[in-house]
Copies of this chain bind each other. A is one copy, B any other.
Amino acid sequence: MNRTSPAGTPSADTFHVYDTTLRDGAQREGISYSVSDKLAVARTLDSLGVGFIEGGWPGALPKDTEFFQRAADGELELRHSVLTAFGATRRPGVSVREDAQVAALLDSRAPVVTLVAKSDRRHIERALRTEVEENCAMVADTVRHLVEHGRRVFLDAEHFFDGYAHDSDTALRVLEAAVHAGADLVCLCDTNGGQLPTGLAHTVEEVVERTGFRVGIHCQDDTGCAVANTLAAVQAGATHVQCTANGYGERAGNADLFAVIGNLETKLDIPVLPEGNLGELSRVSHALAEVANLAPDTHQAYVGTSTFAHKAGLHASAIKVDPELYNHIEPERVGNGMRVLVTEMAGRASLELKAAELGLDLSGSPEAVTGAVQRVKELEAHGWSFEGADASLELLLRRELALAEQRARGTEDGVAPRDSFGAPFELESYRVSLDHRPDGQVVSEVTVKLHVRGERVIATAEGNGPVNALDAALRTALVPRLPWLDEVELVDYKVRILTDTSGTDAVTRVLVESRDEHREWTTVGVHGNIVEASWYALRDAFAHKAIRRSEVAEASLPKGG
């Protein structure tokens, strides 16, 4: 946790991609990250390889304080990115040493601190109710204090563009206060999002010329130009861009990290991700939508599932001749795929890659790949999605491999149906009873009837809710017979209602995240009934544990045996 420059990024410290999904993104209406969600977001962004990850505002929000504590205590191992804390300068008229919020920034143990400061005179006077002089002292004192304590400091100059237009001297004085006190860079923020590229670029250019400072850019999307504004600033001399995953943010949102990275890498030839990681762009975008519990934007630049889909029949045939004529880039560069050319091609390739990632070698079994592509298509048409559920996908792939092997051997030795592949038990039935009693008490009870190793087992358990009770009943039935199932802990449970699946009734998609001592894994279930969808995901969670466990057992056998 002591690195202060991003490692592994091609431009290292010369160009920064700075993500603020965990602070600005969390301001989007409807997003509410738990601390575990925040850790998952940071790990995913690190796997993409952004330079800096702003984790939140320690000291101001209890969840953010806890996030930094858990990160520093070892729950967040970053390979590429540097963790950053966001905070304010000391309050007016208070010594920086006595400001609790500044102390919380140091306590967060983040190696980089991004301080927000007002740079519009009207905001200083009307909202902060202080003088420009004191505002600059607040900036300088806080920067110096943090630098003296070994922190690298960035300054976010709030409402910079309006402030500069209204009174450029004041705006520049704030920047100077920061840089002279030791800040590494000043990030110019279009806080109310009202800028257009031409004017914004002009201001950035002028500030770079007048100050010689290292300049960053932070854009909101209120004119629908946040991505373009960010790129215009880079072309005008900014070397640090602040963005959020999928543009999540307050009001109309922020500059979308993925569109900015896609444009920087493929249009402006500025490499900002570790070699080979651009192909992760689409996966990471969708995974972060999943954690935010929002549907991915199917039409999002670069990463949307419709973004390289061609509907016009005219195009389709020409594309077959020469796809370059109709796509502005090869979709595979950003991990996306074109959808007119029988997606099977893109589908095969990505499934093989995915299988390799999961430790399965499909290269010798084209038949298994064909089967899996077909299966995934069928299921996706019914609302399934495997993007966030690797463990369920792995079970599906393993079953297709087993079927292909069986066919190769010409035998029919009974590969389990998809519904129960890998599960060390079979369901006969379950029954949920849920009562809201006249005294207001609510009780849930589930009875399961299972077959485990030839034995029929009946068990009943109570729970908070129907799914919790189902999980408890399964464990009551199974753990005495399969004690290792007790190692499986359910850490998260997400539900999404899908309303437009092929015009039929709404279906429910459930994701279950499980953990044991060694790893975490996610499974998925889809059904019109939420309890049944949850049952699928729970069953896969246990099945995946069973399969990995038997592999470990095999691997630890003496080789000669």
Contact = CB atoms under 8 A, between A and B. Distances in A.
Interface in A446-489: 449, 464-468
Given A263-B224, A301-B252, A235 B198 contact: yes
A303 to B, nearest CB: 10
Contacts of A318: 126-127
A427 interface: yes
Interface in A300-327: 300-302, 304, 306-312, 318, 321-322, 325-327
Contact of A228 (B224, B321, B428): B224
Interface stretch (A8-16, A73-81, A525-533, A549-557): A525-533
B126 A322 contact: yes
Contact of A493 (B123, B312, B326, B506): B506
A493 B500 contact: no
Contacts of A253: 299
B29 A311 contact: yes
Interface in A250-307: 250-253, 256, 259, 262-263, 267-268, 293, 298-302, 304, 306-307
A123 B325 CA distance: 7
Interface in A486-542: 491-500, 505-506, 508, 527-532, 535
A437 interface: yes
Contacts of A256: 224
Nearest to A293: B496
Given A251-B310, A301-B221, A528 B127 contact: no
Interface in A179-220: 191-194, 196-198, 201
A32 B434 contact: no
A535 B436 contact: yes
A313 to B, nearest CB: 10
Contacts of A327: 192
B528 A465 contact: yes
A231 interface: yes
A227 interface: yes
A348 interface: no
B263 A325 contact: no
Given A30-B387, A36-B499, 5 more contacts: A27-B311, A159-B325, A194-B328, A197-B198, A465-B508
13 contacts: A28-B306, A34-B499, A36-B499, A127-B325, A194-B328, A197-B232, A224-B256, A252-B304, A427-B436, A429-B436, A432-B433, A432-B466, A465-B529
Interface of A: 27-30, 32, 34-36, 63, 122-123, 126-127, 159, 191-194, 196-198, 201, 221-225, 227-229, 231-232, 235, 247, 250-253, 256, 259, 262-263, 267-268, 293, 298-302, 304, 306-312, 318, 321-322, 325-329, 341, 385, 387-388, 427-438, 442, 444, 449, 464-468, 491-500, 505-506, 508, 527-532, 535
